[in-house]
Amino acid sequence: MTSLPTPCARPDCQGGHITVTGYCDTCLRLSPDQVPSAPAQPAAEPAKSQPRPTAPAVDALDNDGLLVLPHISSPEPSEAASTTARAPTGGRRCGVDNCTGIIGVAYDGGPALDEGYCPSCGRDYSFKPKLRPGDRVGDHYQVLGYLAVGGLGWVYLAEDTRVQDLHVVLKGLINSGDAAARRSAVEERRSLTTLHHRDIVRIVTHVQHQAPGETTPTGYIVMEYVGGRTLHWIRYAPEEELTRLFGGTFGIGHVITYGCKILGALEYLHEQGLLYCDMKPDNVIHYGRDIKVIDLGAIRRIDDHSSNLVYTPDYAPPKKERDERGFHVDTDLFTVGHTLKALAARAAPATGLAARSFDELIRRATHREPAARFTSAAEMSRQLWEVLREHQALSGHEPYPERSTRFEPTAAVFGSALGTVPSLDHWTRRPGPEVPEPPIGAPDPRDTARALPVPIPDPRDHAAVLLGGLAAGNPERIAEQAEQDPALNTVETALWLCRAYLDAGNADEADRWLREADDRSGEYDWRIFWHQGLLHLRDGEVQKAEGEFAATYAALPGESAPKLALGYCAEYLDAAERQTAAYYEAVWRRDRTQGSAAFGLARLHLRRGDRQQAVAVLDEVPTTSRHYDAARIAAIRVLTGRLPGSGPTATQLGEADRRLARLRTHAPHLVGSGAWDRLVTEVQENAYACRPPGGWGREFPDGELFGRADTPRELGELLSRSLKRLADQAGSATERGDLLDQAYAVLPEAVGLRDVLRSRRRTT
């Protein structure tokens, strides 16, 4: 049902209705409830000549999860507009159809000419403004001064004499003889009239005005006045002024916030079938706590491949691409990428890996191959938003984990052996007499491949729903159907079969179906990179897998999954610890449900002998996590285990004792089980084997776990009793015998027997 238009509420308006732009279609005035009120000024404080910002709380977020921008007040109209017209400098192309001449150039070192004749076609031109301060346009718009001169027209500030304190912007052609400019002006007027988005400047109306001496009237677009600062100004502002405006450092978070808002506006335009074409810092104004995209003079329909392009060379794709391909949605995203890159050069960089993630995003947006760029403003905005989440988390702010839009959630964890109670093999299959260290090496690549997440199926693939309800245990039947049924001849089917055969251990078939998926998909499909990485891991080819995961990261710089995979590859390949930790840290600081990242960081700390840091990471696993118990068990094993070159201290044994007591209370399912007995036995064995020659000292935690006295006899007797209990868990007579041998060997009176038994085990 179509809603009725809202009548204009102004008493002096006869029959008008409010349009989608917020202005009346009859009296051409803003709806009364939208008329901006002048900001109140304290009585004792005189008006200042510069906008006065009010800084929000440091890094506060708005409802969209973006930074709350500082408030930038509109300058006084008398300060915003100049009463002196400064003609544009530099030449520009003649607007006569099919003419390639350049007009407005300087000769013999003189100033650029603001009027004259085209050297190619002889058509006269004039860049002089047709309006002057004091002129009245459309009966009630009084010109106050000049705001700017753009590529196509002069921009004037005017006051609506019928509405108090309501200012508007008039935009007219810079050269009325420019045919291309006239067409752009018509397109701009037509486009603006139908657009309504909070971050896009609104049109009020279109008026005609004939200046004295003119033979034909000039058309002017009347737009809302947006007072503030352009992003171009912010890019080059003096440091002290920028610090004052932002109440501190202008950082990458502000740049990302600008980017997401700009992309929201462009996404709206693209949905209307329009391209913006000329995004650059000059065309975005930061006003209040918001932004406005202005100057839609370059706008064109997405399917328009014939009319002249309007663009800024420093932000547009290379000439070869412009000439051969024209402009597309990814071209708009290319210009946004260069806009953000220019702003980022002025901003404080992102923290940790987020700096690289931002750079990867810019590289993808501005990739030399259009097929490798983002395919939509929404896709680019989501990745940009994810980079902001990463930066915020790494900067020490509260993390706000969000479910990935690209990868399925997974409960699997790789490298969790540290948080698993050791099996009987820990005692019965030792290679030598020494107590083994905790498992702190990189996990097996095959186990890691099984634990990494898989991509969310593409909902546009008509086979995705069917495949979602199938079990992967019998891929042969689905493969046979896929060969015969055209409905299953899709990328998702091929990827599903690749994973199914991978899980079944059939690497050859998995590889064949991945090649099939590659043939059916685009050249830069990140899902192919990801699956190829999983295949390489299953084959133990970690270095090759790293390259594929790096390509996935370049395509999805905001996602956690590629960074988790790269962290593992760096760990396995023994890369620089700082590099490895950066990947794990970026994932863990952002989302505390990522147990694989927590265990990865703990392993890195342990390999350099830092128990406390390893325990600190494990303690960050929240109680709501399914990995919470594993993290608590891992912390106890870390505190008491023998690390390369060092054993635990008495203080660490005491901490492990207290943690075991808490575990007994909060995890009653463990108490009395075989797992509990094995965990207690490992702790006691570590205390026995790592006891310093002079004893543990005054910090020794005497009690039920470690005995009443710090002596080899007391520790040995406790350990012997625990090993005898483990013998009852043995699955064979040989295993039971090995455990009993160890139980007797640790008794003080059996020192000789212990040596005999160890010698026998070595011989065996």
DSSP state letters, 262-299: HHHHHHHHHHTTEE-----GGGEEEEBTEEEE---TT-
Kindly report the average pLDDT of the chain as a whole number: 86
Q: What are the structure tokens assigned to 553, written together?
A: 């990261």
For residue 33, the surrounding DSSP H or E stretch is: none
User: What pLDDT does residue 691 have?
Assistant: 94
CB 353 within 8 A of CB 390: yes
Over residues 649-684, the pLDDT tens digits come to: 999 999 999 999 999 888 888 887 899 999 999 999
Specify whether 246 is located in the same domain as 385. Answer: yes
Reduced to 3 states (helix: H, G, I; strand: E, B; else coil), residue 508 is: helix
* CB under 8 A, 24+ apart: contacts of 157-162: 157/77, 157/80, 157/81, 157/225, 158/222, 159/77, 160/29, 161/136, 162/27, 162/29
Q: Which residues pair with 170 in a beta bridge?
A: 156, 222
Interatomic CA distance for residues 128 and 104, integer angstroms:
11
Token pair 């279109």 in the structure block, residue: 206
38 band by pLDDT with thresholds 50, 70 and 90: very low
144: buried, middle or exposed (CB in 10 Å: 19+, 13-18, 0-12)?
buried
Find the CATH number of the domain harbouring 195.
Answer: 3.30.200.20
- pLDDT average, residue stretch 563-589: 94
Sign of the alpha-carbon dihedral angle for 343, 349, 353, 354: negative
Over residues 594-607, the pLDDT tens digits come to: 999 999 999 999 99
- 158 part of a folded domain: yes
DSSP 732: S
Over residues 536-565, the pLDDT tens digits come to: 999 999 999 999 999 999 999 999 999 999
Specify whether 187 is located in the same domain as 243. Answer: no
Length of the chain, in residues:
764
Interatomic CA distance for residues 542 and 562, integer angstroms:
14
Nearest to 554 by CA among 315, 375, 367, 377: 367
On the question of pLDDT at 624 being above 50, the answer is: yes
CB 660 within 8 A of CB 636: yes
Find the CATH number of the domain harbouring 305.
Answer: 1.10.510.10
- pLDDT average, residue stretch 456-466: 87
**Is 108 labeled as catalytic in the residue annotation?**
no
Helix (H), strand (E), coil (C) string for 88-139: CCCCEECCCCCCCCEECCCCCCCCCCCEEECCCCCCEEECCCCCCCCCEECC
Q: Which residues pair with 141 in a beta bridge?
A: 137, 160
Between 224-238, 297-311, 378-392, the lowest mean confidence (pLDDT) is in: 297-311
User: What pLDDT does residue 620 have?
Assistant: 96
Q: How far is CA 646 from CA 422, 536, 609, in A?
A: 21, 36, 8
DSSP 631: H
Interatomic CA distance for residues 475 and 498, integer angstroms:
9
- Which of 170, 190, 224 terminates a domain? The answer is 224
- 322 part of a folded domain: yes
Reduced to 3 states (helix: H, G, I; strand: E, B; else coil), residue 192 is: helix
268 band by pLDDT with thresholds 50, 70 and 90: very high
- pLDDT average, residue stretch 167-190: 63
Range of the domain at 202: 129-224
Phi, psi angle pair for 290, to nearest 5°: -125, 180
Q: What are the structure tokens assigned to 3, written together?
A: 């809603």
- pLDDT average, residue stretch 278-289: 95
Q: What are the structure tokens assigned to 763, written together?
A: 């011989």
User: What pLDDT does residue 658 have?
Assistant: 96
Specify whether 387 is located in the same domain as 261. Answer: yes
User: What pLDDT does residue 373 have?
Assistant: 97
Residue type present at position 357: S
Specify whether 13 is located in the same domain as 152. Answer: no
- 329 part of a folded domain: yes
- 634 part of a folded domain: no
User: Which among 278, 282, 518, 738 is annotated as catalytic?
Assistant: 278
User: What pLDDT does residue 16 have?
Assistant: 66
On the question of pLDDT at 47 being above 50, the answer is: no
- 716 part of a folded domain: no
Interatomic CA distance for residues 568 and 340, integer angstroms:
31
Of residues 430 and 143, more confidence is placed in 143
- 215 part of a folded domain: yes
- 717 part of a folded domain: no
The phi-psi region of residue 228 (left if phi > 0; otherwise alpha if psi is between -120 and 50; otherwise beta) is left
CB 127 within 8 A of CB 152: no
State how many domains the chain has: 3
Specify whether 297 is located in the same domain as 319. Answer: yes
Instruction: Extract the runs of DSSP E, i.e. beta strands, from 672-716.
Output: none
User: Highest mean pLDDT: which of 26-30, 474-478, 482-486, 496-500?
Assistant: 496-500
Interatomic CA distance for residues 154 and 87, integer angstroms:
9
Q: What are the structure tokens assigned to 14, written together?
A: 């006869």
Nearest to 439 by CA among 422, 427, 424, 455: 422
Nearest to 536 by CA among 602, 475, 460, 445: 445
Specify whether 259 is located in the same domain as 382. Answer: yes
The gap between the terminal CA atoms of the chain, to the nearest Å, is 87
User: Highest mean pLDDT: which of 173-187, 191-205, 373-387, 474-488?
Assistant: 373-387
- Which of 343, 366, 394 terminates a domain? The answer is 394
- 445 part of a folded domain: no
Interatomic CA distance for residues 324 and 532, integer angstroms:
33
Interatomic CA distance for residues 721 and 746, integer angstroms:
10
Q: What are the structure tokens assigned to 665, written together?
A: 């209370």
CA contacts within 13 A on the Cβ side of 336:
32
Interatomic CA distance for residues 657 and 665, integer angstroms:
13
Of residues 252 and 576, more confidence is placed in 252
Q: Residue 619: which residues within 8 A CB-CB, separation 6 or more?
A: 631, 635
On the question of pLDDT at 151 being above 70, the answer is: no
Reduced to 3 states (helix: H, G, I; strand: E, B; else coil), residue 439 is: coil
- Residue 752's CB is within 10 A of a number of other CB atoms, namely 9
Q: Which residues pair with 287 in a beta bridge?
A: 290
User: What pLDDT does residue 556 have?
Assistant: 98
On the question of pLDDT at 273 being above 90, the answer is: yes
- Residue 632's CB is within 10 A of a number of other CB atoms, namely 21
Interatomic CA distance for residues 512 and 514, integer angstroms:
5
Between 121-125, 259-263, 564-568, the lowest mean confidence (pLDDT) is in: 121-125
Between 144-153, 293-302, 352-361, the lowest mean confidence (pLDDT) is in: 144-153
Reduced to 3 states (helix: H, G, I; strand: E, B; else coil), residue 648 is: coil
The percentage of the chain sitting over the pLDDT mark of 90, rounded to a whole number, equals: 60
Reduced to 3 states (helix: H, G, I; strand: E, B; else coil), residue 407 is: strand
Specify whether 357 is located in the same domain as 257. Answer: yes
User: What pLDDT does residue 188 have?
Assistant: 54
Interatomic CA distance for residues 249 and 483, integer angstroms:
59
On the question of pLDDT at 123 being above 70, the answer is: yes
Residue type present at position 706: F
User: What pLDDT does residue 216 have?
Assistant: 81
Residue type present at position 257: T
1 band by pLDDT with thresholds 50, 70 and 90: very low
Q: What are the structure tokens assigned to 288, written together?
A: 């209040």
- Residue 728's CB is within 10 A of a number of other CB atoms, namely 10
Specify whether 301 is located in the same domain as 158. Answer: no
Specify whether 214 is located in the same domain as 247. Answer: no
Q: Residue 423: which residues within 8 A CB-CB, separation 6 or more?
A: 678
Of residues 91 and 314, more confidence is placed in 314
Q: What are the structure tokens assigned to 731, written together?
A: 């699955």
> Rounded to the nearest 10 degrees, how much is the dihedral formed by the CA atoms of 401, 402, 408, 411?
30
Nearest to 343 by CA among 393, 249, 392, 280: 280
Of residues 399 and 14, more confidence is placed in 399
- pLDDT average, residue stretch 308-334: 94
Sign of the alpha-carbon dihedral angle for 593, 599, 602, 608: negative
Interatomic CA distance for residues 552 and 531, integer angstroms:
10
- pLDDT average, residue stretch 429-444: 88
DSSP 58: T
- Which of 195, 224, 253 terminates a domain? The answer is 224
Specify whether 177 is located in the same domain as 251. Answer: no
Per-residue buried b or exposed e for 344-380, using 16+ beta carbons within 10 Å of the residue's own CB: bebbeebbbbbbbbbbbbbbbbbbeebebbbebbbbb
- pLDDT average, residue stretch 692-718: 93
Specify whether 164 is located in the same domain as 307. Answer: no
Of residues 203 and 699, more confidence is placed in 699
175 band by pLDDT with thresholds 50, 70 and 90: very low
Specify whether 269 is located in the same domain as 190. Answer: no
Of residues 550 and 759, more confidence is placed in 550
Q: What are the structure tokens assigned to 236, written together?
A: 């080059």
DSSP 418: G
